[in-house]
Amino acid sequence: MSQISGAAAIVAALALGGGMAAGGYFVGQTMVNREHVNAAAVKGLSERAVKADQAIWQIGFKVSNADVKAGYAEVETNAAAIRAFLSRNGFEGAAVQAGQTSVTENEFRDGNGVLTEKRYDIVSYLNVTTSDVNAVDAAYQKLGELIAQGLLLTDSQPRYIFTGLNGVKPDMLREATENARIAADEFAKNAGITVGSIRSATQGGFEVRDMNSGEYGTDDRSIDKQVRVVTTVTFYLN
């Protein structure tokens, strides 16, 4: 085996057995390309803590009535109560829009199949869209006021979205590439070789997840977000 091949193998062994490098920004997973034993592929990680900049809050409510006309009147009363609640918390005008209304007819029959009752379940929505995510979060904590008025809410969990991904992409890609080189240099130093220029690089997809949500966590329930990207960079070894 040539000197460079042996050194590259050492780098691979160090990487596969290593833990964290570059201040925890890099997960060591270096591999030697079998066709080009003088090159090693390294993964570089970049993460950012960001805050959601848009909230989409859909408040759904349901009424049930034996008379469909009376049921729709009750829907209008409940919608007015929700609009008043939203107005007290700073949301009105174009920020609040009426959503879809649907009706389901339910028939109840006795053991002989004779119709005993007919009721109509009507579900409607009000939608809030705003950049004031903190105000939405504060109002959501007060939603019990509507329940105390007797409203049956079917859907009320706000969604928090980060729309500024394009603004952080360039710096994060640059940082991920730099961290890949730092990690490669660290491993190569122990093998007595040096890392050369970049042979190739591929970018993984950007992930925006709720902070501390775990690998399979949600991505729209928390204001606090984490943006993450991993790049795979192949370096020449000297």
DSSP 194-233: -EEEEEEEEEPPPEEEETT--TT--SSS-SEEEEEEEEEE
Q: pLDDT value at position 195?
A: 87
Q: Tens of pLDDT along 113-124?
A: 888 889 999 999
Find the mean pLDDT for residues 75-103.
96
Q: Tens of pLDDT along 132-152?
A: 999 999 999 999 999 999 999
Instruction: Report d(CA 71, CA 73) in Å as an integer.
Output: 5
Q: pLDDT value at position 214?
A: 72
Domains of the chain are 3-51+164-237 (3.30.110.170), 54-161 (3.30.70.2970)
Distant-in-sequence, close-in-space partners of 48: CB < 8 Å, separation ≥ 6? 168, 172, 226, 227, 228
Which of 163, 190, 198, 191 lies closest to 44 in space, CA to CA? 198
Q: pLDDT value at position 25?
A: 39
Q: pLDDT value at position 37?
A: 55
Q: Tens of pLDDT along 167-180?
A: 999 999 999 999 99
Q: Tens of pLDDT along 177-219?
A: 999 999 888 878 877 888 888 888 998 899 999 998 876 778 8
Evaluate if pTM is beyond 0.95.
no
